[in-house]
Amino acid sequence: MSTADPRHEWTDANQRLMVAELARIKTRLVGEEQESAMVTAAEIRAALSAPSAIDRIVECFGLSAFERDILLLCAGVEMDSNFSSLCATAQNNPQRSYATFSLALATLEEPHWSALSAIRPLRRWRLVEVTEETSLTNARLRIDERVLHFLAGINYLDTRLEPLLQNSGVAATMADVQSEIAQAILKALQERNAPVPVIQLLGDDRDGQADITASVAAELGMQLHILHAEDIPAGVHERNAFTVLWQRESALLSSALLIECRDQVNAAVVTRLAENLNGLLFISSHNPLELQRNTLRFTVNKPDATDQKRLWQQALGSAAQKLNGSLDGVASQYRLSAQTILSTGAEISSAISASDKPDELLWRACRTLGRRQLDDLAQRVEPISRWEDLILPEHQKAILSQIVSHVRNRLKVCDEWGFARKSARGMGLSTLFAGESGTGKTMAAEVLANELHLDLYRIDLSSVVSKYIGETEKNLRKVFDAAEDSGAILLFDEADALFGKRSEVKDSHDRHANIEVSYLLQRMEAYTGLAILTTNLKTSLDTAFQRRLRFVVQFTFPDIEQREAIWRSVFPGATPIQRLDYRKLAQLQVAGGNIRNIALNAAFLAADAGEAIGMVHLLHAAHGEGSKRERPLTDAETRGWV
């Protein structure tokens, strides 16, 4: 037994009603009685499961009976070929085979002159257009195409708005905290009647903000359309036209609007537009916008680590059981939206189930996501060094191991054990690597990146520091925000150039330089990831930075035993060498970075001579390195090399 589609039933009944309504308008044009047409329309209307299209327009836009009939008259000209001749006959002019205001005034019931004024619904909401303006009464009246199709039962977004708006469906899953926000918004809307307040969603989770608005709209039986702030028409006339068309669409489609404002540059134009829009309006932005209208604000940030772990488990399904603790690490290190987690999990779940290295697949997928944000802001360093490459005293290695432990167990300690609830400050891992050039600071950062399966990004100071007021802080904010989301390790080389001591204010340059340092102090304290600062001059750093450091690793100049170990490990296994005396090489008073330079230059000398690397090649390369450093080698350092 088949059941008829209610939508098809409504469409058929709506079309029959339109035929009856147009028949009634015809009787007015020819001056006949219209009682039978009115009875037919009333019978069809009574059988409709929902209000007809014409009745919805009347209700939404507040049309009078006369304005309603003008709209039907204009629709009849487009829908019924007989209307043109009837209009010409009624106006005693074969050239006027179209609707005019004078015709409406003469033939339709309850006429009033204000019907076509600019402030009345027909023109205010662009339901009809006045063309060929010789005079208002004799001008052609034409129904808007979008409204004509709506009367016929075809409801779609106005084609003039299609390039600007994006339809948004309801997300299959949201983070728990975001579901709670959606319910809080619904409760607030139920407690407030007209006028409907603007809902501002603040924070850094763009996907989550869209999910919440779509969920609220669906609960209210509405659609959701999204407008990006950069797509708002710039001109006043174009923006006013958009405002009218959208408000008409919001009524016809029963739709809410979400304006996404991700850049403060667009805040002013968003504010101007929002002040003039009626209906349910959401604005998502990082910072609040100041509106004159009644506004409710909710903060929507990316899910916390606990919520992210739950979302990963849901996204990966049974494949999550193959992961050996990686979900804790991924959830604590990356800040991803629910939609990003669900889509990524769906993509890799099958591969994880079939792989013998499932944890590596998960980390690689997350690193790929993070690179999309940071590659344009900083220089990615490919980490090749591992623990065995790092020649350091045991004390320094122990501190590096502690750093790894802090990163890996952050979810357990901060969230599960509750330390983050005690204080949000100091949860980051700001670390200082101090020591002379070449003592292994960058290599240690590479070792940590490899051990933690994270990307390492070196911050290029030339692209961050700006002479223009406020630009340095803006650039740093972009870097820190992207790094927090992507789980990357930030490496600030020669950090004393950026994190230097604040000076006494003598002029505006000093004041703004101090503001930059103060901003960095705040940002470093709030940063939740691993940031490594390297410096050759620890005493040059602002003391406030040193108080905020979780770890300080002092990279000392290597002693002779350590230098010998570095020399023994510096040559790759495939390198041909002959009779190297590592103890004598260790007499050279240079750091590990210089040792690597000497070994590499010696390899090129040997390759050019067609020989294996020997002490003579290393002696020539060592003298070249000494000249570069403007520190000639002593006889004691190279005695007995050749």
Quote the CATH superfamily of domain 387-555: P-loop containing nucleotide triphosphate hydrolases (3.40.50.300)
Question: Does 166-299 match 387-555 in CATH topology?
Answer: yes
Model pLDDT, residue 89: 92
The least confident of 30-34, 99-103, 150-154, 365-369 is: 30-34
Domain boundaries, the chain: 6-151, 166-299, 305-374, 387-555, 560-638
560-638: CATH topology is Helicase, Ruva Protein; domain 3 (1.10.8)
Q: Return the structure tokens found at 315.
A: 């996204």
The least confident of 113-117, 356-360, 523-527, 563-567 is: 523-527
Model pLDDT, residue 511: 45
* The residue count for the chain: 642
Model pLDDT, residue 59: 94
* Residue 636: strand, helix, or coil: helix
Confidence of residue 504 (pLDDT cuts 50, 70, 90): very low
* Res 60 pLDDT > 90: yes
Model pLDDT, residue 5: 64
* Percent of the chain predicted with pLDDT > 70: 88
The least confident of 123-137, 195-209, 554-568 is: 123-137
Model pLDDT, residue 95: 87
Summarize the confidence of residues 458-468 as an average pLDDT.
Answer: 68
CA 303 to centroid of chain Cα atoms: 14
Summarize the confidence of residues 467-487 as an average pLDDT.
Answer: 76
- Cβ count within 10 A of residue 586: 22
* Res 199 pLDDT > 90: yes
The least confident of 33-42, 105-114, 400-409, 483-492 is: 33-42
* Res 618 pLDDT > 90: yes
* Res 312 pLDDT > 50: yes
Confidence of residue 499 (pLDDT cuts 50, 70, 90): low
The least confident of 118-132, 236-250, 478-492 is: 478-492
- Contact between residue 478 and residue 459 where contact means Cβ atoms under 8 Å apart: no
The model's pLDDT over 223-260, given as tens digits with 9 standing for 90+, comes to: 999 999 999 998 899 999 999 999 999 999 999 999 99
The model's pLDDT over 582-614, given as tens digits with 9 standing for 90+, comes to: 999 999 999 999 999 999 999 999 999 999 999
- Cβ count within 10 A of residue 444: 27
Summarize the confidence of residues 350-377 as an average pLDDT.
Answer: 86
Distance CA 264, CA 494 (A): 31
* Percent of the chain predicted with pLDDT > 90: 48
Q: 419 versus 514: which is more confidently predicted?
A: 419
Summarize the confidence of residues 296-324 as an average pLDDT.
Answer: 90
pTM, rounded to two decimals: 0.77
Model pLDDT, residue 208: 94
166-299: CATH topology is Rossmann fold (3.40.50)
* Res 3 pLDDT > 60: no
Summarize the confidence of residues 365-388 as an average pLDDT.
Answer: 86
Model pLDDT, residue 44: 82
Summarize the confidence of residues 2-28 as an average pLDDT.
Answer: 82
Residues near 423 by beta carbon (within 8 Å), at least 6 away in sequence? none
DSSP labels, 411-439: IIIIIIS-HHHH-STT-SEEEEEEESTTS
Report the candidate in 37, 29, 260, 292 with the shortest Cα–Cα distance to residue 166.
260
Model pLDDT, residue 507: 43
Q: Return the structure tokens found at 447.
A: 């070792």
* Residue 141: strand, helix, or coil: strand
Burial of 260 (0-12, 13-18, 19+ CB in 10 A): buried
* Res 500 pLDDT > 60: no
Q: Return the structure tokens found at 467.
A: 């002479």
